[in-house]
Structure 1
Amino acid sequence: MISRALTNTLQRLTTSFPVITVTGPRQSGKTTLVRSLFADKPYVTLEDPSERLFAEDDPKGFLARFSEGAIFDEAQHWPDLFSYLQGMVDEDRQAGRFILTGSQQFGLLAGVSQSLAGRAGVTRLLPLSSSEIPNLSSHRLNAVLLTGGYPALHAQMINPQDWFASYIATYVERDVRQLINVQDLTTFQRFLRLCAGRTGSLLNLNALAGEAGITNKVAQAWMSVLQSSDLVYLLPPYHKNFGKRLVKTPKLYFVDTGLACWLLGIRTEEVLALHPLRGALFETWVIGEALKARYNAGEAADLYFWRDNNGVEADLVYEKDGKLQPIEIKSGATVTSDYIKAGQKAAKFAGDEALTPWLVHGGEDNYQRSGVDVIGWRMFAGRVFK
């Protein structure tokens, strides 16, 4: 089993909360992780029709089997579970008693917030961060971008192209049908591919809707589904006003670069190396690494970007010790003077509030130059927020 960085956070939360929830995209390793960490607990998946029928017909009888606690996988499939667990944990608040997983945030987190507020510790497990990938030192950057982080692709001898095709067909489309009434899956697939083509770009739902041939309302609903399923992430602009006219639109990123590459028709490292979106895909990878580091630590994302109407921008910004950490992202392996200038410019918007800017690049070099911390992609994979 691949060691997961979320382990420490889960173990910490089980000392404080009677219910622990783990959300995240399908096939991110949620079930494997919780069954390994809590091997002493009974396991039941509520995707099993027989278990769900038992629960719906005789909820008290169903839960009587698990008075000492259990793992309930895909808990959102039985919405009444949250109300029943509220009564059980109010009677006995034993820490770490119940573990809930779910791949649809709408259902799982809605149930938790309504019935288990203050009783549940909430975590999110995304695909593998690069620091979790076995033998990362032997991987080339293009291979990392092309394969992505879904655990099955690193634990089994399986062709990524075959796996992603199956993933879209068996998981994404099924979840879409469960959450919203999509009549034409071909149109949804086109929308998904159009989103992949815009990873790293400002979100323009009107343009997406027009190219996909759907209404703005439908595009908004579909984008919400992709967010709920942890397939895409919308990076918000930094919220403080430094007296400048700011871009207020979020940026769209895929959570997994491997999935984005597959949707874009990129099948080999050679094609990726020359692809016009390689820079955007590298930026997507950096944002994903930062997002995973936050979630694995049990923290909110609290990640932003900055851009004003005069072209001053920082690809990634987060607050640290009352100041701002600006990060500029460049996919090239060779650090040029223009890269350094971009790193310096990324810090200018915050003035004295900015920490030493980072320049994360697609090469291996790590050093400080002209007031900029130059960080190669491999070091960044292990350094995020440390």
Structure 2
Amino acid sequence: MYFTRDIEHQLNEALKQFPACLITGSRQSGKSTLLQHSLPNYRYVTLDNPIMRALAVEDPELFLSSYPSPLIIDEIQYAPNLLFYLKMRIDQNRQLRGQFVFTGSQTFQVMKGVSESLAGRIAIFQLYPFCWNEIVAMPGKPPNPLNDFEMGRQVVGGFYPEFFSQPNIDHNLWYSSFLNTYIERDVRNIKSITDLGRFQTFIRLLATRAGQLLNMAELAKECGISQPTVKDWLSILSSTYIIHILQPYHKNHTKRLVKSPKIFFVDTGLLCFLLGVDSAERFFKVSEKGHIFENMVVMEYIKRLSLQSGLSSCYFYRTASGVEVDLLVEAKGKLFAYEIKLAKTLSREMAQPLVLFCKDHQVAGAILLSLHEQTIPLAANIKARHWSLFSTEEI
């Protein structure tokens, strides 16, 4: 069963303006299904097929002659040299829009090839697992984000499309298989990692640090690897959309600010699997529940911002004295500040980080996101609202 994706409109508009489009995203995020459903008149080739991959690598001209445009090429990262030949094909008829659409699960190889070969010729999109906006639009009785238990169940279950098309699937088995396949196919293809068991340990250690400041020295010591290796492995996990690295906001030079990033998992289902959280009941009991909830809300904003055409960025804010704001969003030339609380009962003290931040920064909005369903004022120019409510002014 196919579920509508919010990116469809932007993709169709881009195909009217550019010769090519690229959709990057993690494996199983729905890239292939989206394109085959949205572009039924396009030929489709996947380089996951070893025969097709060999042809694309060994004889690019024959490959493109055998599969003329309009063409979808899935997992283009397996044949990065193909991009140079695609550039020549595009330049033969530069005014013809929508000739090629590519997908890639690894941004390392893909983005390097795109920047070198297809600059100015290609529109680039990111496709994440489902966001709540897509979930609530599904037919039947989708989970209600205003229902705390249904929200918790979804956070634990995850947002990958497979869980919605096959609701009876064993989530633990799926995530275990997903991790093993990811490590064997993607990690090996990016970099030669000899100790895959230690890499799995590294991922599990990251899960215990989700939503927290990342201490690379501590992580290296606990995992038994060097700090340069930590940086390499973080880069791999980020480029394959397993984690999102949220950088600190550094635009106030009068304050001593932390420089360490925060780590969030692109999918909370995978995060909960790694933490051993297997039900909504358990989610609300574990000590990590606040960090897991923050992870979900931060990724919801990142997913929605990825659909915007304008430049936008996400950060967090923390001073050396411990003043912290969970999420800052720069969008449409404005700065918005968010504090995230897994709480139904609110107090003015919860808004204090926002109050302190607003004293030193010009913000268009300062909002406490929580489980509280009503939108209420907490302090001057600071309000609280339910985490699932989004303002069109912000996003």
Instruction: Indicate the residue corresponding to 2:163 in structure 1.
Output: 153
Structure 2: which amino acid aligns with 1:117? A
In the alignment, which residue of structure 1 is the partner of 2:105? 103
Name 1:78's counterpart in structure 2: 79
Percentage of identical aligned residues: 37
Between stretches 136-145 and 117-126, larger displacement belongs to: 136-145
Matched residue, 1:54? 55
Amino acid at match of 2:143: L
TM-score, normalised to structure 2, is 0.92
Separation (CA, whole Å) in 2 of partners of 1:10 and 1:347: 37
The alpha-carbon deviation at position 22 of structure 1 amounts to: 0.3
Q: 2:46 — aligned with what?
A: 45
Q: Which residue of 2 aligns with 1:328?
A: 339
Contact 2:183 2:196 in 1 (8 A): no
Distance 1:220 1:194 in 2: 14
CA distance in 1, matches of 2:188, 2:231: 16
1:368 and 2:360 correspond: no
Deviates more, 1:26-35 or 1:238-247: 238-247
Query: Does the 8 Å CA contact 1:317/1:324 hold for their aligned counterparts?
Result: yes
Matched, 1:224 2:226: no
Work out whether residues 194 and 208 of structure 1, in 8 Å CA contact, stay in contact via their aligned partners in 2.
Answer: yes
Tell whether the 8 Å contact from 1:104 to 1:228 is kept in structure 2 after alignment. Answer: yes
Aligned to 1:359: 368
> Relative to structure 2, which stretch is displaced further, 198-207 or 52-61?
52-61
For residue 271 of structure 2, what is the aligned residue in structure 1?
A: 260
Q: How many angstroms does 1:320 deviate by?
A: 4.3
- Tell me, yes or no, if structure 1 residue 377 matches structure 2 residue 387: yes
**Which residue does the alignment assign to 1:137?**
144
Partner residue of 1:245 out of 256, 259, 273:
256
Cα displacement (A) at 1:86? 0.5
Q: Deviations over 1:48-97 (max 9, x none)?
A: 11112222343222211333320000011112110000100001121111
Paired amino acid for 1:203: L
Superposed displacement of residue 378, structure 1? 3.0
Residues 294 and 300 in structure 1, CA contact (< 8 A), matched pair in contact too:
no
Partner deviation per Cα, 1:147-166 (whole Å, 9 max, x = no partner): 12111112212122221111
Distance in 2, matches of 1:27 and 1:383, equals 29
Instruction: Give distance in 2, aligned partners of 1:384 and 1:45.
Output: 39
Q: Distance in 1 between matches of 2:242 and 2:363?
A: 31
Shift of 1:348: 2.8
Q: Secondary structure at the match of 1:302?
A: strand
Corresponding residue to 1:316 among 311, 327, 338: 327
Q: Secondary structure at the match of 2:329?
A: strand
Distance 1:310 1:325 in 2: 22
The answer to which of 52-61 and 36-45 deviates more is 52-61
Residue 181 of structure 1 deviates from its aligned partner by 1.4
* Worse overlay, 202-211 or 172-181: 172-181
Mapped to 2, the partners of 1:298 and 1:163 lie a distance apart of 34
The one-letter code matched in structure 1 to 2:109 is G
Task: Confirm or deny: 8 A CA contact 1:289 1:384 kept in the other structure.
Answer: no
- Cα distance in structure 2, aligned partners of 1:240 and 1:376: 28
Report the counterpart of residue 211 of structure 2 in structure 1.
Answer: 200
Once superposed, which parts of structure 1, at least 4 consecutive aligned residues long, lie more than 6 Å away?
Answer: none
What is the distance in 1 between the residues matched to 2:307 and 2:331?
Answer: 17
Please give the alpha-carbon distance, in whole angstroms, between the structure 2 residues aligned to 1:206 and 1:87. Answer: 47
Is 1:128 the equivalent of 2:139?
no
Shift of 1:26: 0.4
CA–CA distance in 1 between the matches of 2:178 and 2:285?
26
- State how 1:331-346 maps to structure 2 within 5 Å: 331-346=342-357
Q: Does the CA-based 8 Å contact 1:202-1:251 persist in structure 2? A: yes
Letter in 1 for 2:376: Y
Aligned residue in 2 for 1:285: 296
Distance verdict in 2 for CA 1:263–1:223, change over 3 Å: same
3-state secondary structure, aligned to 1:71: strand
SS of match in other structure, 1:262: helix
Contact 1:6 1:297 in 2 (8 A): no
- The alpha-carbon distance between structure 1 residues 136 and 182, as it changes in their structure 2 partners (threshold 3 A), is same
Gaps of 5+ in 1: none
CA distance in 2, matches of 1:327, 1:53: 49
Distance 1:220 1:22 in 2: 25
Counterpart amino acid of residue 62 in structure 2: G
* Cα displacement (A) at 1:346: 4.0
Give the secondary structure class of the aligned counterpart of 1:137: coil
Equivalent residues of 2:312, 2:331 under 8 A apart: no
Counterpart residue number, 1:89: 90
CA separation in 1, counterparts of 2:81 and 2:315?
36
1:177 aligns with: 188
Q: What's the TM-score, normalizing by structure 1?
A: 0.94
String of CA shifts for 1:220-278, please: whole Å, max 9, x gaps: 11111100101111111113125111112211111111111101111121221111111
CA distance in 1, matches of 2:334, 2:109: 36
Matched-pair contact (CA < 8 Å) for 1:146–1:261: yes
1:385 maps to a residue whose letter is: E
Three-state SS of the structure 2 residue aligned to 1:87 is helix
Residues 64 and 273 of structure 1: CA distance in aligned 2, closer, same or farther (over 3 Å)? same
Select between 290-299 and 133-142 the one with higher mean Cα deviation: 133-142
CA contact (8 A) 1:313 1:345 kept: no
Three-state SS of the structure 2 residue aligned to 1:379 is coil
3-state SS of paired residue (1:171): helix
Cα RMSD, aligned residues only: 1.8
